[in-house]
Structure 1
Amino acid sequence: MLDDAKTLVAYLKKSDERGDINFAEDWKLTTLLIGGNDLCNYCKKKHVCRSTVIYTDTICPQKSYSAKKYTRNIMQALDLLQKEVPRMLVQVVAMSNIPPLLKIQTGPTCAMLQAYLCPCGLDTRTAKQMRAVHQQYYQALKRLIEDSGRYDTKKDFTVVLQPFMADQTAPKDKNGKYDPSYFSVDCFHPDRKLHQIMASALWNNMACDHGAHYDNPNASCIFSILLQL
């Protein structure tokens, strides 16, 4: 994440040199969306907890995929942007809950790709823990962005948490069956339909007052905003 932030800062400054933007005066909107790779791989090289029981059984995540490490990586990137970039609003989109999405199945190819992309979600032992781990990620991110005040120290920079994917469930068709048309061939990454829903949900949440963001991708503040016009 830190390297990505450095790349973005360098790109913005280069754009300023070319005259494409005014780095000092133009407002900038950055949206940070991190996929579920950490969550999908947290159970690799799993070990037994000794002094601290984190979950209901004895399996603990590898340290590199812990909520603390996950949040620290994001914090380093946000700290750099806050230090280097004036007039910027950063939106951090919360990670979706992976296990419900793995209910999408279309055949052996789909199952094979899911097993490769998200092994922890298909393991019967660790899949049950992924919801708890997902919540640890989300709560740690919420503390960093909303509760700490770390990014509320400048008049021209702030960070907003967008939670509309936090409780995402696998979409169903009119017959109540899980609908694979929202996903790409691997039955894991979103296809155009789901990308459209995610884009609309982000836009709708951008219209919400601070602290009133929805964790439901179908909810909207747009109607209430229009009533006030």
Structure 2
Amino acid sequence: MMVATTYLILWCTTVTIATLQRNILAPGWMMKFTDENQTGVPKHVLAMQDRYFYPVRQIIQKVLLSPSRHERARMNQKTQKYILKSTEFPCNKNGTRSLTRPSSVHQLRPGDIDIIGSVGDSLTVGLGSFSSYAFELPVEHRGVSWTAGGDGTWREYLTLPNILKEFNPKLFGYAYGDALAEQRGSQFNVAENAALSQDLFFMTRELVKRIKNDKRVNLTEHWKLITILMGSNTFCLQLCYEDNVKLINLHKNKLYSSIFYIKQNLPRTIINLVLSPSLEILTKLSEKPNVCNFLNKMECPCFFARQYKHRQTDFIKTMAEFQKVEKEIVKLEEFKNSDNFTVTLQTFTEKSVVPLNRFNKSDLTYLSADCFHLSQKGYALAANALWNNMMEPVENKSSNWIKEFDRFNCPTAESPYISTWKNSQITVSS
């Protein structure tokens, strides 16, 4: 009971402050945005956050970092199976980096990506990766983030950066360690716990600013890969309180503005837009522990609290509308008419379900201690699915995931490029 109470206090404090602030801040090691028209937050509130909120977050992060958490998670089978160093990478790496830097985004091989970044919420932060107990959940494990974490190698932590490092060892921008967003180790992973759709544009500006201010970056020459995933917290914290049609339009406007801003400011960029996952997946878990039921109601009241159960069907329809909006945005001609930029929808989240164990029940080892976030093994599963989507033709992408490493798509002589709308048409016609 004491553990649950402690966790409740820590989690509620973090989520409440993060939700109320409705933005993220630039870290102290770079210039901050203090333009009230951009953040929507008064300057004195931003100053108060610098003075109180971030120091408290850093204290909580340090207090909850247990030296044995990795081993404990491994004993509980919540980490991917370790792969021996003698095991070869699943793909043949010959010819996976161009001899000369490509001039078209539609001719990018995996090894041509120089910089990686990410925008998102707690799922992109890697929250809960090694949590065996509820009180460990607030710890951010950015270094093993499936979209932008670069700790170790693919053998122990399958992440998108660790996959791409096999093709280009000089890749940079990925996060490392247990860094918070305001710390240097976060690099170009600007995701924030409890971020909402309305935070998307601010986070995008922060990402662009970090990239432009980094001396390692050659803005006009380096190819950049940015992954965006947003929606879960909007579903959890706003669907039951705000007009759903307005939320859909807000998500559409912020997402469009963010993608357009990247196009205008970051030449040579490809965006992975991951379809926002429907929370319906969590209603289908079998034998969910009571502690998960308790935590889900606290983390995601709109979808799990008893007083909103009668609206759950409507909420599922609203989440489908969010996905519809995302599908519409990537098809806009203005995002398809350039050799310098493109955005591709990655759809593996559309019909994903939690894998089953040998007893034909939901395999909860893929989930964190709250059965909401993913464990490191779950994030490895997501990284594998994202990679597979990237190598699959547009309009023919898988809409689910399978057990990690059971299917690992590789570049081929016939399809050597990261898939875009244009090179997918060429592949289909040939």
What range describes the TM-score normalised by the shorter chain of this pair?
A: 0.7 to 0.9
Tell me how large the CA RMSD over aligned residues is: 2.2
Aligned to 2:269: 88
Aligned to 1:222: 409
Of 191, 194, 203, 1:4 maps to: 203
Of 333, 341, 345, 1:149 maps to: 333
Of 230, 234, 241, 1:38 maps to: 234
Aligned to 2:144: none
1:208/1:221 contact within 8 Å kept: no
Distance 1:187 1:221 in 2: 26
Of 348, 358, 361, 1:164 maps to: 348
Question: Structure 1 residue 185: deviation in Å?
Answer: 1.0
Q: 1:130/1:208 Cα in 2 relative to 1: closer, same or farther (>3 Å)?
A: same
1:89/1:159 contact within 8 Å kept: yes
Q: Secondary structure at the match of 1:91?
A: strand
Say which is worse superposed, 164-173 or 133-142, in terms of deviation.
164-173
Aligned to 1:129: 314
Aligned to 2:253: 72
Question: Structure 1 residue 206: deviation in Å?
Answer: 1.1
Question: Structure 1 residue 211: deviation in Å?
Answer: 2.4
| 1:86-143 residue CA offsets vs partner (Å, 9 max, x unmatched) | 0000110011121222444543321111012222322321222233112111111101
The aligned runs of 1:100-139 (5 Å cut-off) are: 100-104=281-285, 106-122=288-304, 123-139=308-324
2:244/2:318 contact within 8 Å kept: no
Aligned to 1:203: 387
Aligned to 2:40: none
Q: Which amino acid letter does the alignment assign opposite residue 137 of structure 1?
A: F
Distance 1:213 1:157 in 2: 20
Q: Which amino acid letter does the alignment assign opposite residue 263 of structure 2?
A: Q
Q: Secondary structure at the match of 2:343?
A: strand
- Alignment size in residue pairs: 209
Aligned to 1:25: 221
Q: 1:228/1:158 Cα in 2 relative to 1: closer, same or farther (>3 Å)?
A: closer
Distance 1:228 1:155 in 2: 21
Q: 1:169/1:130 Cα in 2 relative to 1: closer, same or farther (>3 Å)?
A: farther
Question: Structure 1 residue 5: deviation in Å?
Answer: 1.0
Q: 1:158/1:228 Cα in 2 relative to 1: closer, same or farther (>3 Å)?
A: closer
Distance 1:164 1:110 in 2: 25
Q: Which amino acid letter does the alignment assign opposite residue 28 of structure 1?
A: K
Aligned to 2:26: none
| 1:7-52 residue CA offsets vs partner (Å, 9 max, x unmatched) | 111111111xx2x121111110111122411122343236xxxxxx
Q: 1:131/1:44 Cα in 2 relative to 1: closer, same or farther (>3 Å)?
A: closer
Q: Secondary structure at the match of 1:126?
A: helix
% of aligned pairs identical? 23
Q: 1:176/1:119 Cα in 2 relative to 1: closer, same or farther (>3 Å)?
A: same
Instruction: Answer 1 or 2: which has greater strand percent.
Output: 1
> TM-score when scaled to structure 2?
0.45
Bigger radius of gyration among the two: 2
1:97/1:166 contact within 8 Å kept: yes
Question: Structure 1 residue 208: deviation in Å?
Answer: 1.3
Distance 1:203 1:106 in 2: 29
Aligned to 2:359: 175
1:31/1:93 contact within 8 Å kept: yes
1:102/1:114 contact within 8 Å kept: no
| 1:185-214 residue CA offsets vs partner (Å, 9 max, x unmatched) | 111001111111110011111111232221
1:102/1:188 contact within 8 Å kept: no
Q: Which amino acid letter does the alignment assign opposite residue 212 of structure 2?
A: K
Q: Secondary structure at the match of 2:333?
A: coil
Question: Structure 1 residue 62: deviation in Å?
Answer: 4.1
2:239/2:315 contact within 8 Å kept: no
Unpaired runs of at least 5, structure 2: 1-199, 416-430
Q: Which amino acid letter does the alignment assign opposite residue 129 of structure 1?
A: D
| 1:32-75 residue CA offsets vs partner (Å, 9 max, x unmatched) | 122411122343236xxxxxxxxxxxxxx4455x2221111111
| 1:135-156 residue CA offsets vs partner (Å, 9 max, x unmatched) | 111111101112x223113220
Q: Secondary structure at the match of 2:310?
A: coil
Q: Secondary structure at the match of 1:150?
A: helix
